[in-house]
Amino acid sequence: MHFKLLYRKRKRKTLPKEMTKLLKHHYTARNINFRRLLSNRFCMIVSLLAFLLGCGVPNNPYPQSEQNQAIYYSTFRAEPKHFDPAVSYSSDEYRFIQQIYEPPLQYHYLKRPYELIPLTAEAIPQPRYFDANGEPLPSNAPAASVRRAVYEVRIRPGIMYQPHPCFAKTDTGAWRYHKLTEADVKGFTEVKDFPMTGTRELIAADYVYQIKRMADPKVSCPILSTLEDYILGMESYSDALADGQKNPPFPGVEVVDRYTYRVTLKAKYPQFVYWLAMPFFSPMPQEAIDFYGQPALKERNITIDRFPVGTGPYRMETLIAHKEIVLVKNENFRIERYPANGEPGDREAGLLDDAWEIIPFIPKIVYKLEKEYIPRWNKFLQGYYDNSSISSDTFDRAVALDDMGDPAASEVLKAKQITLRTSVEPTTIYLAFNMLDDTVGGYTPEKQKLRQAISIAVDYEEYIEIFLNGRGVLSQSPLPPGIFGYEEGKAGINPYTHDWDVHTNRPTRKSIEKARQLLAEAGYPGGQDSKGNPLIISYDNTLNTAGGTARLTWIRKKLEQLGITMESRTTDYNRFRDKVKKGNFQMISWGWHADYPDAENFMFLLYGPNSKALHDGENAANYDNPEFNRLFEEMKNMENSPERLEIIQKMNRLLQQDAPWIFTYHPVTFGLSHQWLKNKKPSSIGYNALKYLRIDATQRSENRQEWNQPVLWPLWMCIALLVLGTIPAIFTIWKRERST
């Protein structure tokens, strides 16, 4: 023992300095490696812990500050192209702009059939009729005797525009932002970048100015040609503007006084009051057009087509391209109240609980971009969106049949108290034949039978079940349910494609043998002409997806039952529209959603002078039957009556015989909403419904927390495994240290 100690002392005294440094470095390095290993293990544990905790936290897309606010959350798939009411003509755009702009009339939120009521107007205007000599006529005067129909619209005083920089003035009363330079708007991207705003009262001149804007060829109003057919002097006014004239005469529209304006039509047209509920006839302050017309703003894409100016319950707060659209309550909105009556069943459904309460209830509306349906569906189930549609992929998970065989929410959705609501859309979907085509067009009995045969073969009862999950009502004419002239039951069937089954009390499609017989009578027995050439029909479409391919295959097989070969011509939407406009097709799929609930708005789709190829109208089939045209001209100006119904029935019989369309279906909307979304009722005409909705934010917060609890047991298990995995490494290193 003494020797050893002495020996060590002697070694320490005699070791060279370089060796001493080397030994110190060796032991220090081993300690550092040991600590580094422990540190690495610790960092790995912490990193995994953070990752797992992140996985456990709900993917709430909204800031914590919004948690208990009554904000309405929804989505959009693509940024709308137009917010200018003189240009916009799409339901995807209307759902935004009808919260902001206010035409003089609107539809009652709860009543069905749809009923017009005043919005900014004091009352629904009643027309005054005059003959060719300017003499007054009674209200029931026949349309043939009417040469002028005069509507006077009285606007309620005290309605104010939203706060907006176009109204901002200096202390001296000059426009603050109407002479902007590039330097003035440097860094600006939205209207809210302007620090000052102003407002003013809505006046009759704003409505007159908007009608004149629609006549301006530079604005490109999509319904200008239709307006010119009815409003006195609109066509000549538009032509004069095109020729460069300033302030040409326009006798068809004029200001009567501060709150009254007058519109004069060239003929009796009772449906004009429906026009007064469309966004096209919303007011437009000239200050807004002057403001947005400045080059400094145009260059920054700050325009009326992106940032609306209205008197409605909401105004646009944020517009982030391809990401988010936010509407907030218009601070200047007047007092408006929730309706106090509706239709039978509304009170029991709780739709009258807020009767006479001041609206809107919701202070803010947030739309998030969601291009894909599945992520949107999952977020809806988590409670992050307040309502949802149903895709074919999720239909079986969302919908079940109740004891009566009617669709109802599935058990999964019922557990979350999610409500399913269905409604038939005022929409007609159809396959159109090009009546100008040498093969499928024409009006001879042989051509009629050819189209009738194809109409029988293309079995849309089957299509509705396969591709729509039953979400469609088979159509027998252009008119959907709820429109005057629509006939149910045996009276309404298309006798050329269906028979009436007295046992099931429903229509049954004629047999494929009947279709083959008609095809033979048309000159194509077995799908071949007299020379043995096969009958080939082209089908132009935009079905370039997997689902679209399945639909094309289905139609092809239906035509093959007749021996007809279908040639699919799939292209992009712009090219497709161009071919339809030029009449360069044989068969296409098309559709129409009602602008207003009247038969005229559907029958005009087949009116000869409205041909798309010949007159750039909406008659995509280019159908032109003189007798149908005559009946349409007689029907379009009539009030709903037994006489008008009789004319509509005659028109339907002509269409069923001529078969310019294959009548397919009217869509049925299946919509889901959470229990905290109150006062929800399907509304397909008039999109200004958000002001009636109410959110129970407390209930939503509770449900979100309940449905999105993090699952922590995998986290703790992983931590335990990591700790256990680290212990052997620590023990090994400790043993190695001891051995040295």
| pLDDT of 42 above 60 | no
| pLDDT of 54 above 60 | no
Question: What are the distances in angstroms from CA 151 to CA 103, 121, 132, 211, 268?
Answer: 15, 12, 17, 14, 11
CA Rg value for the chain: 35
At residue 153, what are phi and psi to the nearest 5 degrees?
-110, 125
Say how far apart CA 708 and CA 57 lie, in whole Å.
8
pLDDT digit string (tens) for 528-563? 999 999 999 999 999 888 788 999 999 999 999 999
| pLDDT of 314 above 70 | yes
In this prediction, residue 3 carries a pLDDT of 33
In this prediction, residue 278 carries a pLDDT of 96
Q: Please choose, from the candidates 28, 36, 40, 41, the residue with its C-alpha nearest in 3D space to the C-alpha of residue 737.
A: 28
For the chain, the average pLDDT equals 90
Range from 5-19, 135-149, 458-472, 700-714 carrying the lowest mean pLDDT: 5-19
| pLDDT of 291 above 60 | yes
Say how far apart CA 373 and CA 161 lie, in whole Å.
37
Find the mean pLDDT for residues 239-264: 97
DSSP 117: E
Contact 314, 100 (CB under 8 A): yes
Find the mean pLDDT for residues 333-358: 97
Residue reference for tokens 């309605």: 159
Say how far apart CA 540 and CA 554 lie, in whole Å.
15
| pLDDT of 658 above 70 | yes
CATH number for the domain running over 427-669: 3.10.105.10
Find the mean pLDDT for residues 409-419: 93
User: What burial class does residue 318 get, using C-beta atoms within 10 Å of its C-beta: 0-12 exposed, 13-18 middle, 19+ buried?
Assistant: middle
In this prediction, residue 722 carries a pLDDT of 72
Say how far apart CA 408 and CA 471 lie, in whole Å.
13
pLDDT grade, residue 5 (50/70/90)? very low
Cis check: omega of the bond before 113, within 30 degrees of 0: yes
- Tell me the range of 21-25, 76-80, 660-664 where mean pLDDT is highest: 660-664
**Number of helices followed by number of strands (H, E) in the chain:** 23, 27
- Tell me the range of 29-33, 78-82, 344-348 where mean pLDDT is highest: 344-348
| pLDDT of 1 above 90 | no
Q: Please choose, from the candidates 607, 663, 651, the residue with its C-alpha nearest in 3D space to the C-alpha of residue 454.
A: 663
Find the mean pLDDT for residues 672-676: 96
Q: Where are the domains of the chain?
A: 427-669
Proportion of the chain above pLDDT 90, given as a percent = 79
Instruction: Please tell me the pTM assigned to this model.
Output: 0.84
- Report the 3 state secondary structure along 279-345: HHHCCCCHHHHHHHCCHHHHCCCCCCCCCCCCCCCEEEEEEECCCEEEEEECCCCCCEECCCCCCCC
Say how far apart CA 529 and CA 514 lie, in whole Å.
18
| pLDDT of 159 above 90 | yes
pLDDT grade, residue 683 (50/70/90)? confident
pLDDT digit string (tens) for 160-204? 999 999 999 999 999 999 999 999 999 999 999 999 999 999 999
pLDDT digit string (tens) for 197-251? 999 999 999 999 999 999 999 999 999 988 999 999 999 999 999 999 999 999 9
Strand 136-137 and strand 536-541: pairing?
A: unpaired
Q: Provide the b/e sequence for 396-407 (b: ≥16 CB within 10 Å).
A: eebbeeeeeeeb
